[in-house]
Amino acid sequence: MRLSRQQGLLLAGLLLLLAWPWLSNLFGGDYLVSVMTRVLVFAIAAVSLDLIVGYGALVSFGHAAFLGLGAYVTAISAFHWSEGIPLPLGFTGSNALWVNLPLAMAVAGLVALLTGMICLRTRGIHFIMITLAFAQMLYYLFVSLDFYGGEDGLVMIGRNELPLLDLTDDRSFYFLCLGLLLLYLYLARRLVRSRFGRVLRGARINETRLRALGFNVYAYQLTAYVIAATGAAMAGVLLANKTEFVDPGLFSWQLSGELLVMVILGGMGSLYGAVIGAIVFLMLEQWLSSWTEHWMFFLGPFLVLVVVRARHGLLGMISEKGGE
């Protein structure tokens, strides 16, 4: 079967990511593995954001809040486990990834459900501002929690544990992040191609008509909002394990803005585009910041050029159609 140009480039990219730990030995060793691990983590967050921005036209400026929640749930759980301090309901915390990952996703999903019920009563700029407001509320909440480090953040005792996989090894952790990214991409792709995804995209085009046809658009959008939050929480868990440190800056609107830039740069409404956007944005940031502290001054014109010249982002430049 003959592959299209886009499929060929995506396959080449996947092979490059699979070979990255070995190729990095020729250039920068473990440092390059660490850099690409960070890229993979943020790619998961970008894909989760694209589910609501690209397919649902729900531009959230507080998506980083769910990434921060995932990171903090992991760090707090490990902290209580190491100190032997019980949490509510008799839970003493855990340093196991298979416990902390679903726990973080559940907490983020619950918060997204509660806040989304309010946010989705609004549209446009009002939706953007109210998601930003909730994110800032969480930011100041964790700044005020002196028991968990407050503004200084919380240091983890080490990475979470996982049976049969040594997460203290950077290469093993890299492949865990890559595996979870591929799994999330697969599930997200199945979702957007399902009946649920068609309704979500239909609401983006003409919400009034879908309501007239009998669809509960509000319920579909709220479900997508919760699913996107759990994906961001997964990225937060991985980020906390990578850095072994969390701080309230993970809830910042600046990080939410960077995630939006990644989605727009790669191409909204394209899951693979979100991954490409994360890779290009973070690798450019890494390269330019090694030359100057004013790297955003040089990155800005590049972003403007892509937005002006490529309506469907970078993925649209290599294919006839920018969407999935």
pLDDT in tens, the chain (324 residues): 566 666 777 788 889 998 888 888 777 678 889 999 999 999 999 999 999 998 988 999 999 999 999 999 999 999 999 887 888 767 888 899 999 999 999 999 999 999 999 999 988 899 999 999 999 999 999 999 999 999 999 999 889 999 888 899 999 999 999 999 999 999 999 999 999 999 999 988 888 888 888 889 999 999 999 999 999 999 999 999 999 999 999 999 999 999 999 999 988 888 898 999 999 999 988 888 888 777 788 888 888 888 777 777 787 776 654 444
160: amino acid identity, one letter:
N
Residue 112's contacts (CB-CB under 8 Å, 6 or more residues apart) are: 66, 225, 226, 228, 229, 230
Kindly state whether residue 87 falls inside one of the protein's structural domains.
yes
- The count of structural domains within the chain is 1
Query: What's the farthest any 2 CA atoms get from each other in the chain?
Result: 60
Q: Which two tokens stand for residue 88?
A: 């509510």
Q: What is the pLDDT of residue 12?
A: 85
Kindly state whether residue 40 falls inside one of the protein's structural domains.
yes
Kindly state whether residue 203 falls inside one of the protein's structural domains.
yes
Q: What is the pLDDT of residue 213?
A: 84
Q: How many CB atoms lie within 10 A of CB 282?
A: 21
Q: Cβ-count burial of 154 within 10 angstroms (0-12 exposed, 13-18 middle, 19+ buried)?
A: buried
Predicted structure pTM score: 0.93
From first CA to last CA, the distance across the chain in angstroms is: 19
Kindly state whether residue 15 falls inside one of the protein's structural domains.
no
Residue 55 lies in domain: 36-252
Kindly state whether residue 10 falls inside one of the protein's structural domains.
no
Cα 291 to chain centroid distance, Å, stands at: 27
Kindly state whether residue 264 falls inside one of the protein's structural domains.
no
Kindly state whether residue 55 falls inside one of the protein's structural domains.
yes
Kindly state whether residue 272 falls inside one of the protein's structural domains.
no
Q: How many CB atoms lie within 10 A of CB 281?
A: 25
